[in-house]
Amino acid sequence: MTEQLEDGQTAGGAEEEVSMDDWAAAMAEQETVDAAQESIQPATNLFQELSSSDASLNVPSNLDMILDIPVQLTVELGRTKIAIRNLLQLAQGSVVELDGLAGEPMDVLVNGCLIAQGEVVVVNDKFGIRLTDIITPAERIRRLQK
């Protein structure tokens, strides 16, 4: 019951031939796309080169615009958890025990990220901190991954 075509193929064979033509057209289109992608050159000089403005500081001149951005610097003596009941009982002269030990280096944080440790100093009746240990960038990244 298959219908014969003029060239002797059946209707089912004609459908198969049409899909083969579609397949060949798709392959030809893919070859054109692949050839076009090969001719595309990678972007060069997409980002501006950072050049050093002062060789002694190794600070690129393009970073000058961010040098005035304020950051939060925190020196942490220690921490503790306290119940609200005990917090409300605090008065002048009350002592709050912290987890830091006397003489232990204090943490220096920038925007909440540990960058150094140091010790308290007093200069002209004002407290300060003398940095004793700077955390390396590799160590900072390792701590972030914890």
All domains in the chain, ordered by first residue = 71-144 (2.30.330.10)
Give the pLDDT score at 2.
47
* Structure-token pair, residue 6: 């003029």
Q: What global pTM score does this model have?
A: 0.49
CB-based contact 76:120 (threshold 8 Å): no
Closest alpha carbon to 106 in 145, 82, 133: 133
> CA 128, CA 126: separation in Å to the nearest integer?
7
Residues of the chain with pLDDT under 70: 1-20, 36-61
CB-based contact 98:77 (threshold 8 Å): yes
Q: What is the pLDDT of residues 66-75, one digit of tens each?
A: 888 999 999 9
Give the pLDDT score at 1.
47
> CA 73, CA 107: separation in Å to the nearest integer?
10
Give the pLDDT score at 48.
62
Pairing of strands 73-76, 106-110: antiparallel
Give the pLDDT score at 41.
66
